[in-house]
Amino acid sequence: MKFTKENTTIGFIGTGVMGKSMASHLISAGYQVLVFNRTKAKAEELIEKGAIWQDTVAELAAQSNVIITLVGYPKDVEEVYLGKGGIIGNAKSGSYIVDMTTSAPGLAKEIYAKALAKGMSSLDAPVSGGDIGAREARLTIMVGGDVDVFEALVPIFNIMGTNVILQGKAGAGQHTKMCNQIAIATTMIGVCEAIAYAKAAGLDPETVLKSIESGAAGSYSLTNLAPRMLANNYAPGFYVKHFIKDMTIALDSAQTMGLLTPGLELAKSLYDKLAEQGEENSGTQALIKLYLQKI
């Protein structure tokens, strides 16, 4: 199927830090967008922009032919898709459903199979790029599912992201996101330790950052999150609690495959400690607080 602005109604579930921007881009592109969020207040800006509020997941699913979800945890994904009043039980046959939450690969495969049995097409398509990438419509979108379904939805993905890649069958998008989160986990440790070292050595961390961010140490975290650390800006582009969720999924998946992931285990232990100190709703850059306690 070729989705056009005339024949497409997009249902968007989950209008938080990233989802709000992503849905906004779809509205700006001229699509009719229906929205649902557990907290309606978080959808008010989108409603003012032209989104149509739906009171339940079931209502949204029944009236949309493309349904996108970006919720919190695997348990939320399971409820939204498979629970009573969920998408699988209420969407029309022929609907295309896309979970952009970072969730468990096994759950993505289950949703794919149950959607297929109901005549629906399903993709798992988690994203990377944080609040900045969502705002600027340059997210990386990692997709798992069938080629024809992916190709049909690429024009919609391209409105929200700039690096859209099909990684394989159902679950492959989620596995790829785990690779992404594993790489970020240990990178964040390195960024925090570098800043702490600079401070302990009596250097100006901002000046140090100018030297190292464009060299071999360069990374998204160093360029985008280190300045927030130095400015004591811990507002969430991505929540600590959600990063812990992602690392838990990655650890479980790695253990199932028999892989050693000591760096990931260390990162999770540090973020667990940070959450215990009340920082679960801070951005991931708040990890620097653990290090600065020692200086």
User: What is the rounded CA–CA span in Å between residue 60 and residue 42?
Assistant: 17
Amino acid sitting at position 264: L
Here the tokens at position 165 are: 């890649």
Here the tokens at position 117 are: 């049995």
Residues in the chain: 295
Here the tokens at position 15 are: 């209008």
User: What is the rounded CA–CA span in Å between residue 46 and residue 207?
Assistant: 40
User: What is the rounded CA–CA span in Å between residue 61 and residue 85?
Assistant: 9
Of 112, 114, 245, 120, residue with least CA distance to 168: 112
Phi-psi region of 85 (alpha: psi -120 to 50; beta: other; left: phi over 0): left
DSSP one-letter code for 161: E
Q: What is the secondary structure of 120-133 as a DSSP string?
A: -EEEE--EESHHHH
Q: Which residues does the annotation mark as catalytic?
A: 177
Query: In DSSP terms, which residues pair with 97 in a beta bridge?
Result: 67, 122
The answer to whether the beta carbons of residues 247 and 272 sit under 8 Å apart is no
User: What is the rounded CA–CA span in Å between residue 295 and residue 199?
Assistant: 8
User: What is the rounded CA–CA span in Å between residue 34 and residue 51?
Assistant: 6
